[in-house]
A = this chain, B = another copy of it.
């Protein structure tokens, strides 16, 4: 485990693809897999997989295929899925509600604890057992419930100020869905997920290239 070699962003992205694929294989009672087989399934080169694993010291032994269960464990640990993480959503509009409904985060260990908004008409609304609360309660709530991740689904014009608030109350990571790039200081992780970018990328591809 010589994690100190600066992992490319693209490697982290692929690790989550590998994990997806391996989880499926595991549910089909597959116990072992070679880098070649996994590569085939995920659509990358086998040497890419071995190199990706190599950043973490490698997870197998020469001559033997990888153990699926062990691999899943290693990848989960790397991606921080080995222990549960509490999340909140700020902004109970369409995107916020859809993410609250989404049931693929929970099995990965991400637990939604609260949803916040400024619109009183939404207070009390429950989505999968999680209530919408007044954003004024947010700082207190984050402290009391050990919230590590904040998801921003507010309009663009307030996104940065929400992020600033989340930073102040010591949230660890921010996942921003507002159509405005948001920044956070060193020490707080940020992922900007501008939905329009995906569509524009698709549009450009269609044009031919």
Contacts and interface: CB of A to CB of B under 8 A. Distances in A.
Given A197-B13, A197-B16, A197-B17, A80 B179 contact: no
Nearest to A171: B206
A200 to B, nearest CB: 4
Nearest to A77: B207
A30 interface: no
A171 B160 CA distance: 37
A174 B173 CA distance: 30
Interface string A176-209: 0001110100000101011111111111111101
B198 A175 contact: yes
Interface size class of A (residues with CB under 8 A): 35 or more
Nearest to A193: B198
B181 A199 contact: no
A43 interface: yes
Contacts of A173: 202-203, 205-206
B80 A206 contact: yes
Interface string A87-113: 000000111011101101100101000
Contacts of A189: 202, 205-206
Given A20-B181, A98-B98, A175-B198, 17 more contacts: A12-B204, A16-B200, A20-B179, A20-B196, A42-B181, A43-B181, A79-B203, A80-B207, A93-B101, A95-B102, A99-B195, A105-B196, A108-B199, A149-B203, A174-B202, A189-B202, A191-B202
Interface of A: 3, 7, 9, 12-13, 15-17, 19-20, 42-43, 78-81, 85, 93-95, 97-99, 101-102, 104-105, 108, 110, 148-149, 172-175, 179-181, 183, 189, 191, 193-207, 209
- Which 10 pairs from chain A and chain B are nearest by CB? A98-B98, A189-B205, A80-B203, A94-B101, A94-B98, A16-B200, A173-B206, A80-B207, A191-B202, A173-B202
